[in-house]
Amino acid sequence: MDGATIKKLYVNDKKSSAEIAKIFKCSERAVNYWLAKYEVKKRSISEAVYLKNNPSGDPFKIKPVQNLEDAKLFGLGLGLYWGEGNKKNKNSVRLGNTDPKLIKKFLEFLMRICGIEKKKLRFGLQVFSDMNTGRSLKFWLKELREYGINRSQFFKVTVTPARSLGNYREKSKWGVLTVHFSNTKLKKLLDGMLPL
């Protein structure tokens, strides 16, 4: 068993201790011994899970701002996330709103500036019980058609009891759509850019 090879497999190839142990037909304890001997810091459980879920690397790549149009979109996207996004969830970037134009701008920010793949996006739709769920879903699918979003990317629609007072009906005529992109690393990066 070669300690330098073990280090390379762990650090460069991002293999886990268990995977390396299988390669060398030895115990994880032996692999951990060599990693300690070579002063390799072990990954945390969350880092190991992230690597397992993203074996090809990060599913995003933040684009450097190269022109005024990019700068505007970057500022707008970050501003929308700051004002309308869900900062409590630690594992995903989320933004919910009733305005299709606002949702589309945020999608543009995620795809053009953050470099995420549209197929990795998920959507949650919340409607009130006195609304037509099917019509609301069709509305949002039509609005997002230009981005290649399809029905399989939607979670089950959440139906909330209707309120009797206020002007909620006009404001949320088609329900509240929430954009989800599950990635702890991008979440931390965006949160770190906010002046909190």
Q: In the prediction, which pLDDT does 54 show?
A: 79
**Topology adopted by domain 68-193:** 60s Ribosomal Protein L30; Chain: A; (3.30.1330)
Q: pLDDT-based confidence at 196, cuts 50/70/90? A: low
CA–CA dist 119, 122 (Å, integer): 8
Q: What does the domain layout of the chain look like in residue ranges? A: 3-53, 68-193
pLDDT digits (tens, 9 = 90+) for 148-169: 999 999 999 999 887 765 555 5
CA 123 centroid distance within chain: 11
Predicted TM-score (pTM) above 0.85: no
Average pLDDT in the 83-91 region? 88
Average pLDDT, the chain: 90
3-class secondary-structure state, position 116: coil
Edge-to-edge strand order for the sheet containing 122-128?
92-97, 176-182, 122-128, 158-160
